[in-house]
Amino acid sequence: MIEQLFGSKTRVKLLRLFYSNPNRSFYVREITRKVDEQINSVRRELANLLSIGIIASDNTNNRLYYEVNQEFEYFKPLLEIFGSSDLVMDDGDVIVAKPKQVDPVVAELLALGNVELAFYTGQFTRDDSSGVDMVIVGDLNQAKVQKYIKDLEIKEKKDIRYVIMSLGDFEYRQNVKDRFISKVMLAKKQVLIDKKQIIEGN
């Protein structure tokens, strides 16, 4: 039914990809892999979404990246339709993910231990100011984390720089205004889990 409403199966897949990853950028071949559609069909639908203003594009290192345009006038209703079922806008118009999410990415993270906070940044959001690509905070099983990152690197076809720390360490470093944590908190990020609503105003 949604395919009929929006005119194309490829378009619906693209909308789901972009709205489930609202702060993440993708290049064409990466998108094609993730939605499992022909590249010509993907290029055509990307051009359509770009012309409407639903997505935006940017050229970095001679590669064209696409991401959802959060300034689009119908961003919020489309997020309700195509975003992850537990991705919501809070009172400050910040996109947050509820911890009880059925999304498989979140389910895998929750299997690593008591994860309080997890988010993508760096390569995933094309903001390298923090110097890392992923941050996971909580009481974690180290062996499971290493396997998770290794599998994620295979899936994403790139090396992933990651940081894990306990909630106590994270909060302490926040309180003393640790330089690394300050950079991480200011960087563009895609929040996957935030049980204590640590991320505010980003």
CA distance 202 to 194: 13
Query: Average model confidence (pLDDT) for the chain?
Result: 84
Are the C-beta atoms of residues 86 and 97 closer than 8 Å to each other? yes
pLDDT over 90, % of the chain:
46
58/96 same-domain check: no
**Domain limits for position 156:** 84-194
What integer is the mean pLDDT of 97-104? Answer: 52
Query: Could you give the number of structural domains in the chain?
Result: 2
Collect contacts of 64-70 with beta carbons under 8 A, ≥24 apart: 64/27, 64/28, 65/25, 65/26, 65/27, 65/126, 66/18, 66/25, 66/26, 66/27, 66/28, 66/31, 67/18, 67/22, 67/23, 67/24, 67/25, 67/26, 68/18, 68/19, 68/21, 68/22, 70/22
Q: Is the pLDDT of residue 166 over 50?
A: yes
Give the tens place of pLDDT for each residue, 41-54.
Answer: 999 999 999 999 99
Residue 176 has pLDDT above 90, yes or no: yes
Verify that 62 and 106 share a domain, yes or no. no
pLDDT of residue 202: 39
What is the domain-level CATH number for residue 42? 1.10.10.10
95 pLDDT band (50/70/90 cuts)?
very low
Q: Are residues 24 and 90 in the same domain?
A: no
127 and 45 fall within a common domain: no
Same domain, 75 and 91: no
pLDDT of residue 121: 93
pLDDT for 105 beyond 50: yes
